Structure 1
Amino acid sequence: MSEELDRVHRFQRDFNLRKARRTMDVPGGVAVLNDRFPSSHDDNKLIIWAGADPGAVVRAADEALDGLGHRYVHVLDDDLGAALAPAFTAAGYAHSPYLTMVFRGRPRTDVPAADKLALDEMIRVLRANWRETLPGASAEEVETLALRVEDRLLGAATVAFRGVRAPGGEVAARADLYVHDDIAQIESVYTAERHRGNGHARALMRAMLAEAAGASLIFLYTGSDNWARDFYARLGFEPLGRTHGFLRIE
């Protein structure tokens, strides 16, 4: 494993540990738990980074996440995730690889700064975004998905919410920026459906890269689809590694 990838893994693990309300040791890693948001996969999951018996990890997920409507396991190491995949697939889990990309370009200095979104505005934006993303979700589910952003404030020394507005003033695209120990992560980049195709996400990313330019390492996670990978590549990101997510809905 490269030194850069090891730093990314430690950043991700420690970010989740800092924002967790409870933790539990499990084979090969830790369970991070938050009773405030029991339906949130991101706030109630196992994070695995060391080798362990596959059956023991599957059993640990059942034990640590008992009583919840999901089982979610995030494996940080690519080879380990591939090795655990057969056991999780046999146990009824869906497997989703995620690409880790690191910024290799030179941040532009001639771009407008993104708008700083206060927590209350960010929550309003998230409510609207989740309603369009999950039209069948209940009001309670939407509220949980929106409010969990509050606990992200605990995850890093700097947690900033940024947005780019459409001409009428509405937030068209938004994202999070986490900075800790000279490492920056850009997360949760989203453009509202009615504002897509107008360059808002590109403008937001360029502004956030300029803001994070002082960090020695800037990274993000994205799905494995070609569109997202190509979009970030055009901005100066290159693949660094993969993580693996395993999800089962109870």
Structure 2
Amino acid sequence: MGREDVELRRALEFVRGFARRRAPRVVDVPGGFAVLDDRYPGSYDDNKLVVWAGDDPGVVLEAAERVLGGREHRQVNVDDDALGAAFAPTFAAAGYEHEETLVMVFRGAPPAGPPEAERLEVAELLPVVRESWRATLPEASEEVVDGLARRIETRLRGADRVGFRGVRAADGGLAAYADLYAHEGVAQIESLVTLARHRGNGHARALMRSLLAETAGADLVFLLADAADWPKDFYARLGFETTGRTHSFLKTP
């Protein structure tokens, strides 16, 4: 097994383990498992199937209907590139939207100097996350926005070390924030957000450099990036390289 294969395997095992540890309920399904959280039934990330084996997409579709039957959505993540590509036509025929995600591993030189980002507590971060979701979903109710924001609390169970980091603008307000997870020598950077009014001022780059300095001792540092969106190019300029690809299928009313 080559270096890239090992890195991809470790990254995907990390993501699966994180999902299992944070979920109140885990259900075995053919080729993988499902995670369920009745507190946030509308959350795709907290109520989904994760599969990486098998050869019959119909079996996975049936499992999604059975396990997610009480939800309005059906979310299936396929953590194998070839399998996801093979499943795509069947899922499309069943009305599912298809997205691809890149697994990107940091292979650059860690930035010199100590990390500069601040450690954020959940209580401080929650209002900022609500603001971000409000901007993204202007028509959503306050209950929905609050539920989406409060999901960050469940992440604390996902790894040995889970932290929230942020950098501030000149006025002292939080400008950008991200999650940092570490478990058994592997670190993941996740949920990087720059608030709309602070975009274009280098805050995301400053935060990423701080996170990379903080994770300099890890065996592996990785993140997940939408294959169809521009941030993947930003991450590449910072030293991340694509080592694999996963697929997600979503069906909504």
Unaligned runs of 5+ in 1: none
The AA in structure 1 aligned to 2:175 is A
Distance in 1 (alpha carbons) for counterparts of 2:249 and 2:190 = 20
Pair 1:41 & 2:58 matched: no
Q: Is the 8 A contact 1:47 1:73 kept in 2?
A: yes
The alignment partner of 1:153 has SS state of: helix
Counterpart position of 1:240 = 243
2:141 to 124, 138, 141: 138
CA-CA distance at 1:227 after TM superposition: 2.2
Deviations 1:85-140 (A, max 9, x none): 11111110000001110000011123651011101111111101101111111111
Q: Which runs of 4+ in 1 moved over 3 A?
A: none
1:91 to 83, 91, 94: 94
Distance in 1 (alpha carbons) for counterparts of 2:162 and 2:129 = 16
Q: Is the 8 A contact 1:39 1:144 kept in 2?
A: no
The alignment partner of 2:245 has SS state of: strand
Distance in 1 (alpha carbons) for counterparts of 2:110 and 2:15 = 23
The AA in structure 1 aligned to 2:83 is L
Counterpart position of 1:125 = 128
Distance in 2 (alpha carbons) for counterparts of 1:141 and 1:73 = 22
Show the 5 A alignment for 1:146-165: 146-165=149-168
The AA in structure 2 aligned to 1:17 is R
CA-CA distance at 1:9 after TM superposition: 1.1
Give the TM-score normalised by the residue count of structure 1. Answer: 0.97
The alignment partner of 1:144 has SS state of: helix
Distance in 1 (alpha carbons) for counterparts of 2:99 and 2:144 = 22
How many residues in Structure 1 have an aligned counterpart in Structure 2? 250
Could you tell which deviates more after superposition, 99-108 or 219-228? 219-228
Q: Is the 8 A contact 1:104 1:237 kept in 2?
A: yes
Distance in 1 (alpha carbons) for counterparts of 2:28 and 2:229 = 36
The AA in structure 2 aligned to 1:198 is N
Deviations 1:192-220 (A, max 9, x none): 11100000000000000001111110000
Q: Is the 8 A contact 2:114 2:214 kept in 1?
A: no
1:208 to 207, 211, 222: 211
Distance in 1 (alpha carbons) for counterparts of 2:199 and 2:114 = 20
Q: Is the 8 A contact 2:115 2:213 kept in 1?
A: no
The AA in structure 1 aligned to 2:56 is D
Counterpart position of 1:189 = 192
Pair 1:78 & 2:105 matched: no
Deviations 1:210-234 (A, max 9, x none): 0111111000001113521210011
Q: 1:119 to 1:29 in 2, by over 3 A?
A: same
Deviations 1:16-40 (A, max 9, x none): 0000101111111101001111111
The alignment partner of 2:16 has SS state of: helix
Quick one: percent identity of the two aligned structures?
A: 58
The alignment partner of 1:50 has SS state of: coil
Distance in 1 (alpha carbons) for counterparts of 2:7 and 2:20 = 20
Could you tell which deviates more after superposition, 153-162 or 102-111? 102-111
CA RMSD of aligned residues (A): 1.1
Q: Is the 8 A contact 1:111 1:206 kept in 2?
A: no
Distance in 2 (alpha carbons) for counterparts of 1:214 and 1:111 = 12
Q: Is the 8 A contact 1:28 1:49 kept in 2?
A: yes
Unaligned runs of 5+ in 2: none
